[in-house]
Amino acid sequence: MQLQVDIGFDQLVQLAKKLPGNQWAKLKQEVDKQHATDRSVSELECFLLNAPTFSKKQLDEVAKTRKAINQWRTK
């Protein structure tokens, strides 16, 4: 069974401030873990978008080499 409660941000902050020390530590750990996951995805996305790419000339050379290797294998 699930219960969904809509509360405002200020109410959430007040509830979090009232948590005992051990529960506050658990909450902070979970939030930090989620934040780290979001950051790592963002870093990966940034890396991939900024990674070097092949030029048209390089792609043509790869295709030419692949074709030559395939012809050599079939002989």
pLDDT number for residue 75:
65
Nearest to 7 by CA among 27, 15, 28, 23: 15
- The number of folded domains in the chain is 1
Q: For residue 7, is pLDDT > 90?
A: no
pLDDT, tens digit (0-9, with 9 covering 90-100), for 36-63: 666 666 788 888 888 899 999 999 999 9
Domain holding 59, by residue range, is 9-74
Specify if 37 maps to a domain: yes
Residue 56, SS3 per DSSP: helix
Q: For residue 69, is pLDDT > 90?
A: yes
Specify if 2 maps to a domain: no
